[in-house]
Amino acid sequence: MNPLSLLLIGAGCVVEVLGVLFCVVNAGEAGINMPLLIGVILFGSMLSVGGVFWHIMAKRM
């Protein structure tokens, strides 16, 4: 597998896990961290999908 795609997929997973842990640990009132949680999950997913896309495109080139 391409090292860049592995890096992107790994970074996406790390961002998602650390973001969820941060939101769980620092949960204040009900739903106060929900926009941050959604943003972190979206950003991590974009990195992971970018890594998968890069892997597919590298195989086709």
Whether 48 and 9 have beta carbons less than 8 Å apart is answered as: yes
Query: Domain-by-domain residue ranges, the chain?
Result: 3-60
**Assigned token pair, 44:** 């991590």
> Does the pLDDT value for residue 52 go beyond 80?
yes
Region 32-47: what's the mean pLDDT? 90
> Does the pLDDT value for residue 8 go beyond 80?
yes
Question: Amino acid identity, residue 48?
Answer: S
Region 5-11: what's the mean pLDDT? 94
How much is the pLDDT for 35? 86
